[in-house]
Structure 1
Amino acid sequence: MTANPTATEPTLLSLPAPDEWPHWMGARGDAQLAEARRLVDDLKAQRPSEARQVLRVWNDAQTALSNAASIASLFSEVHPDRDVRERAENLMQDVQKLDTDLGLDTELFAVFADLDDTDLDADASRVLEHTLRDFRRSGVDRDEATRARLRELSEQAILLSQEFSKNIREDVRSIRVRPEQLAGMPQDWVEAHPVDEEGLVTVTTDYPDVIPFRTFAHDADARRELVTQFLTIAWPANDAVLQKLFAVRREHASLLGYATWADYDAEVKMIGAGQAIGEFIDRITALSGERAERDKAVLLERLQQDRPDATDIDGADATYYAELVRKEQHAVDAQRVRTYFPFEAVRQGLLDVTGRLFGLEWTPVSQEAAGTWHADVATYDVARDGERIGRIHLDLHPRDGKYKHAAQFDLVRGVRGVQLPEGVLVCNFNRGLMEHDEVVTLFHEFGHLVHHVVGGDQEWVRFSGVATEWDFVEAPSQMLEEWAWDADVLATFARNEAGETIPADLVAAMREADDFGKGYDARTQMFYAALSYDFHVHETPDLTERLRELMGRYSVFPYIAGTHMQCHFGHLDGYSSAYYTYMWSLVIAKDMFSAFDRNDLFDPEVARAYRDKVLAQGGRRDAADLVADFLGRPYTFDAYAAWLAE
């Protein structure tokens, strides 16, 4: 039995030439899965009694499995070649099958169950503790028939998840409008959408179209038509897929002795129990209720200036009128704001800001040297104190067949002395001017990337990168958003075509305007969280009808007739019952940010303490302990409540 020898120089992944991708995908995936199987077979055959030796071999097996999973997850969503995407989907099925088989392998479990952890250090003890927990949560201690059914359910779940994502990714809808219906749209957007031979303009449900259109287009009917199309993406196909997926999860949890999937899922998160999710949702709903109703009343009053007979306002109008309120009452014109944010300048500015903040250097790497999957991808090596610690890839523009949202994907999880961490940022921004909200999104997602790389210097792969409890992972990203709202930070890169820096008074007005709507935004997030939780707790024959009921209870905006938003709510797959984590993380993010001096967000002492005590730790300790170490106390709701009341 041999584990990988510790290397003196950890490696980076070599991506293939364009015509070699299909072969490379199969070869790397197969090789990594074969290595994982070999190591596990050796463990079972030789049954070493020394705990650290067992854990090292298991770590190598888990590293190989992670390597296969990472390329499968990423390239099924972003590769421009459909054949490669399908190969990646097939690889993910193989990864999930092997992972399930390992978790249900009683012989393998026995190797770990008999280990003596007396001489293990804290990190190795935590690996063993979490590994034994994983086995039990997989159902390894159930009877043979139950284990067989759990295996079937896991295989069904991955197929349903892939079908759900594929239906969203490939269902791009559109409306066609007359040129005069583009009134209000930014000029650069109009120029990028030429009139066709029939004298009409096509507007799609992809984010670079739908977000500015629902924000700026004066034509209410056109806005409503596009929003309705957006909220029916992947319907009706995904309605049936969701029903099957929820049923699989219900049975899976039941076979393991849990009352609901939410109870099973929450057990290993900070929140601890399914019931606590509902309690948290209701707590935030109550905390934000008065502010939400007050903000909504302002929107409705502004709508009534245009439509005196209006008695309510929904999501087809809310974004547009929120923009008008910010422009008229707070002197913030988003079309003026966006002139300060050309994409290329924002991307470089983000690198400069995060480099200065975290003590990192980003060095461009040519596509010839790094390899790539598309010409749009920009690659950078990451160094700290002159030593390379990882690599990032930025895939930031839309294309056919690509993941439609914004997310960070692993390409390689770092293992000390073996392989450097590599992460990929996948977004869908225009190549020209960016909305400030998009700048905030870019900072947010980049926060995950920094966490992945800075936290990637770990001995144990399960603690590498973004490896904390899942309801903490958004907190570092949400906190990094704060730098996209600071006038001094923005002044380092936000300039218009004339070279003028964004004025500090405009940024102050933007912050004030952003405060408007935070109440109903919180309520909207709680509606999403309730949807995620409720669908996994109650068997629901009509998902759309239940969505309407939950929307009435939690959101301040009414349901839009004929829509089926659940069908393209991708988090119902990835986050399952745990969408609450976005708000849970925000509570912690606001508290962590309170440690920074708002007059000097680049204070190196605080920034380095945060980097080293939170980000660099990966998953070596529970998230609550990481936060307490940084803050010098346990986290509280106080900073979040104060922010909500501002």
Structure 2
Amino acid sequence: MLKPLVLPDVAGDWSTWLSTRCGDGLAEAAVLRGRLAGAEGPALEIWNELQIQLANVFAVTSLVAQVHPDASVRALAEELEVEANDFRTDLMQDAGVHTSLKAVPGAELDVDARRVWELSLRDFRRAGVDRDQATRARLAELQARELDLGQAFGRNIRDDDRTATVPVAALAGLPEDWIAVHPADDQGNVTLTTDYPDVVPFLTYAADAEARRTVSHAFLNRGWPANDEVLGELLRVRHEHARLLGFDDWPSFDAEVKMIGSGPAIGDFIDQVAADARTSAERDIEVLVQRARRDEPTLAGIDASSSRYWSEVVGRERFGVDAQQVRQYFDFTKVRQGLLDATGRLFGLTWTPVADAPSWHGDVTSYDVGLGDEVLGRIHLDLHPREGKYSHAAQFDLVPGVAGVQLAEGVLVCNFPRGLMEHDDVVTLFHEFGHLVHHMLAGRHEWVRFSGVATEWDFVEAPSQMLEEWAWDVDVLQGFAHNDAGAAIPAALVHRMRAAEEFGKGIRARTQTFYAAVSYRLHLERPDDITARVAQLHERYNPILPIPDTHFHAGFGHLDGYSSGYYTYKWSLVIAKDLFSAFDPEDLFAPDVAARYRDTILAPGGSRDAADLVEAFLGRPYDSAAFKAWLDTAPEEVR
């Protein structure tokens, strides 16, 4: 019977464990590589075993580098990741291995094996195996440098312990429990970190505009100035990489393996979404400006320090939603359990707490995951901020599940408060947990290539974006959203919350197109002055005004992992809206459609093209009709 991976406990020797896990994995991968190059045995099966070893190594190095509390362990994980990357780069340029795989009789393979074979050969081509020796050597140098720069970019954000100091009077309007854990110093000042549990509530509730700008300035300068130079070189390295492989630019290289198909199509898609959202964005930004000018007559417009605050004011006045009233219903512990209950009911999963499960920090909670009588694996939830930890929200693999070989294990890494949560945090938790569910349900394939969230990268957000809908459902929320007196959140309040959320959707869509344009255009153009080009893109796409002397791009961590492909959030949202159209909003737990969605969209992992998965579920090709209708519908004013 398969067992979860044995981890050290909090005080254990993580350095030795990590070195052993990675060293053994790379050693076994080297043996398997030798067998492949020597044509010793069934090539595709050996290739799968080799990929399992590499996937195991990359999973632990990428996770530990972001979450372990000991900086030396994080540094070791980064070093081991470099070693594994060097091995993979050399492997993908190994003509002997490529020859063995190419010799596999593809016509005799079943559907799954043939897909693995074809995609693997494509990977070899994209690695430059068919190029001359000098080109392959340069590609290896570039890929090594790319990893170094990506690690540095993330490290500079993660380790930037920036703070902002505001007078205690600026805390007026903040929730009492938040104020209680932010005491003033002897000079009557309060120091805030740039972690989300500090920044988001302050920008949402603080009426002091100057203090909000102070906090926003610190937040939007994370990673600056170090990351400006790092990013500039990273853009140049990626461009040379793509050109050596015969592509016009990095976006064209990157898009070849995505649903969108081509680099220029990214720019077209960004502009289409921006155009679709223009009317909605202009309508709602005017509402914010007019309301703000009642208090600040000389206000030029809504900027990054004031958008959350004035959105909260409009939500309270126009839709009857007071976020401080709302947050009383969202105690972190209850939300976490409510999420497990809702997803368990929806997908037929069980989440069994493992009280003594070892991990890297005392904040981590672990659960064994089951589906009927089947054990799928284990999840680990690391949900609160700490020094040196990944500062956003993401799902990380710990072990990719492979049928009969190893159980799937995944980790959710977030930065939520320990007490009361904003409803936005609840939505984020549902979203990220969607990735974790995907990882677990798709962890039962023979071929590791299909394991977990292994679809095209511009589809991976769609299932998570769709799961956000359950964080807005009255029945779901009333199952866990209770105040201190035990009263469930009123249905009328949830309806008003949804109306308030619908307000500003065009603004958010345009803001996302700005992020996507930064991701795409910087890689396409590689400007000498990144700050100036980002400012131009901000003016073109983002209705929210910038804060002077800030450098958003330096803290935009997705420029590493997503590179030129941040458009995928909106691409996925178009599909998510279409997927959700198959569910009955009056019965989100209807078992037939939920099971069909689980088995048709999530469980296949990467075994089919995403477009084919969606068509199989919907009974037709996906389209943007649901997304456009959602954008065009004005929120109903509720008082």
TM-score (norm 2): 0.98
Match of 2:637 in 1: none
Match of 2:274 in 1: 285
CA distance in 1, matches of 2:165, 2:123: 51
Cα drift, residue 223 of structure 1 = 0.2
> Residue 502 of structure 1 aligns to which amino acid in structure 2?
I
Q: Structure 1, residues 411-470: CA drift from partner, whole Å, max 9, x if none?
A: 000000000100000001111000000000000000000000001100000100100000
> Residue 221 of structure 2 aligns to which amino acid in structure 1?
T
Tell whether 2:181 aligns with 1:192.
yes
* Partners of 2:412 and 2:436 within 8 A in 1: yes
Match of 2:594 in 1: 607
CA distance in 1, matches of 2:518, 2:453: 25
Tell whether 2:101 aligns with 1:112.
yes
Alignment counterpart, residue 366 of structure 1, candidates 343, 355, 361: 355
Cα drift, residue 539 of structure 1 = 2.3
CA distance in 1, matches of 2:86, 2:337: 41
> Residue 349 of structure 1 aligns to which amino acid in structure 2?
G
CA distance in 1, matches of 2:4, 2:159: 32
Name the SS for the 2:359 alignment partner. coil
Name the SS for the 1:315 alignment partner. coil
Match of 1:503 in 2: 490
Aligned pairs (5 A) from 1:429-440: 429-440=416-427
Match of 1:454 in 2: 441
Match of 1:3 in 2: none
Aligned pairs (5 A) from 1:406-485: 406-485=393-472
Tell whether 2:198 aligns with 1:202.
no
Unmatched segments (≥5 aa) in structure 1: 1-8
Tell whether 2:383 aligns with 1:391.
no
* Partners of 2:8 and 2:359 within 8 A in 1: yes
Name the SS for the 2:603 alignment partner. helix
Alignment counterpart, residue 346 of structure 1, candidates 328, 335, 352: 335
Name the SS for the 1:410 alignment partner. strand
> Residue 29 of structure 1 aligns to which amino acid in structure 2?
C
Match of 1:575 in 2: 562
Match of 1:72 in 2: 61
Tell me the number of residue pairs that the alignment of Structure 1 and Structure 2 aligns: 632
Alignment counterpart, residue 526 of structure 1, candidates 513, 525, 529: 513
* Partners of 2:380 and 2:410 within 8 A in 1: yes
* Partners of 2:601 and 2:617 within 8 A in 1: yes
> Residue 21 of structure 1 aligns to which amino acid in structure 2?
W
Match of 1:46 in 2: 39
CA distance in 2, matches of 1:266, 1:455: 24
Alignment counterpart, residue 223 of structure 1, candidates 212, 228, 247: 212
Match of 2:19 in 1: 26
Match of 1:588 in 2: 575
CA distance in 1, matches of 2:526, 2:319: 46
Cα drift, residue 531 of structure 1 = 0.4
Q: Structure 1, residues 328-372: CA drift from partner, whole Å, max 9, x if none?
A: 1100000000000000000000000000000000000123xx311
CA distance in 2, matches of 1:114, 1:54: 9
> Residue 457 of structure 2 aligns to which amino acid in structure 1?
W
Cα drift, residue 505 of structure 1 = 0.2
Match of 1:35 in 2: 28
* Partners of 1:172 and 1:206 within 8 A in 2: no
CA distance in 1, matches of 2:624, 2:595: 24
CA distance in 2, matches of 1:412, 1:131: 21
CA distance in 1, matches of 2:107, 2:528: 52
Match of 1:232 in 2: 221
Match of 2:158 in 1: 169
Match of 1:625 in 2: 612
More moved, 307-316 vs 523-532: 307-316
Match of 1:357 in 2: 346
User: What is the percent sequence identity of the aligned residues?
Assistant: 57
> Residue 278 of structure 1 aligns to which amino acid in structure 2?
G
CA distance in 2, matches of 1:614, 1:313: 40
CA distance in 1, matches of 2:83, 2:22: 9
Aligned pairs (5 A) from 1:123-142: 123-142=112-131
Cα drift, residue 284 of structure 1 = 0.4
Name the SS for the 1:497 alignment partner. coil
> Residue 255 of structure 1 aligns to which amino acid in structure 2?
L
Tell whether 2:248 aligns with 1:255.
no
- CA RMSD in angstroms comes to 0.8
Match of 1:242 in 2: 231
Q: Structure 1, residues 139-186: CA drift from partner, whole Å, max 9, x if none?
A: 000000000000000000010011000000010211222221100100
CA distance in 2, matches of 1:245, 1:639: 37
CA distance in 1, matches of 2:174, 2:545: 26
CA distance in 2, matches of 1:114, 1:43: 11
* Partners of 1:10 and 1:416 within 8 A in 2: no
Name the SS for the 1:434 alignment partner. coil
Match of 1:10 in 2: 2
Q: Structure 1, residues 508-540: CA drift from partner, whole Å, max 9, x if none?
A: 000000010001100000000000000011120
CA distance in 2, matches of 1:254, 1:263: 10
Q: Structure 1, residues 448-505: CA drift from partner, whole Å, max 9, x if none?
A: 0000000110000010010000000000000000000011110111000000000000
> Residue 204 of structure 1 aligns to which amino acid in structure 2?
T
Name the SS for the 2:526 alignment partner. coil
* Partners of 2:38 and 2:96 within 8 A in 1: no
* Partners of 1:173 and 1:233 within 8 A in 2: yes
Name the SS for the 2:23 alignment partner. helix
* Partners of 1:47 and 1:111 within 8 A in 2: no
Cα drift, residue 198 of structure 1 = 3.2
Name the SS for the 1:363 alignment partner. strand
CA distance in 2, matches of 1:156, 1:389: 37
Name the SS for the 2:38 alignment partner. helix
Match of 1:150 in 2: 139
> Residue 136 of structure 2 aligns to which amino acid in structure 1?
R
CA distance in 2, matches of 1:399, 1:539: 34
Tell whether 2:510 aligns with 1:517.
no
CA distance in 2, matches of 1:194, 1:617: 51
Cα drift, residue 557 of structure 1 = 1.9
CA distance in 1, matches of 2:545, 2:209: 17
CA distance in 2, matches of 1:118, 1:264: 28
CA distance in 2, matches of 1:559, 1:185: 24
* Partners of 1:11 and 1:418 within 8 A in 2: no
TM-score (norm 1): 0.97
CA distance in 1, matches of 2:309, 2:198: 14
> Residue 20 of structure 1 aligns to which amino acid in structure 2?
D
Aligned pairs (5 A) from 1:261-300: 261-300=250-289
> Residue 129 of structure 2 aligns to which amino acid in structure 1?
V
More moved, 543-552 vs 175-184: 175-184
Alignment counterpart, residue 160 of structure 1, candidates 146, 149, 152: 149
Match of 1:83 in 2: 72
Cα drift, residue 47 of structure 1 = 4.6
CA distance in 2, matches of 1:631, 1:244: 44
Q: Structure 1, residues 115-152: CA drift from partner, whole Å, max 9, x if none?
A: 21122100000000000000000000000000000000
Q: Structure 1, residues 58-96: CA drift from partner, whole Å, max 9, x if none?
A: 111000000000000000000011111111001110111
Name the SS for the 1:111 alignment partner. helix
CA distance in 2, matches of 1:198, 1:26: 48
CA distance in 2, matches of 1:11, 1:98: 28
More moved, 550-559 vs 153-162: 550-559
* Partners of 2:39 and 2:100 within 8 A in 1: no
Cα drift, residue 46 of structure 1 = 3.2
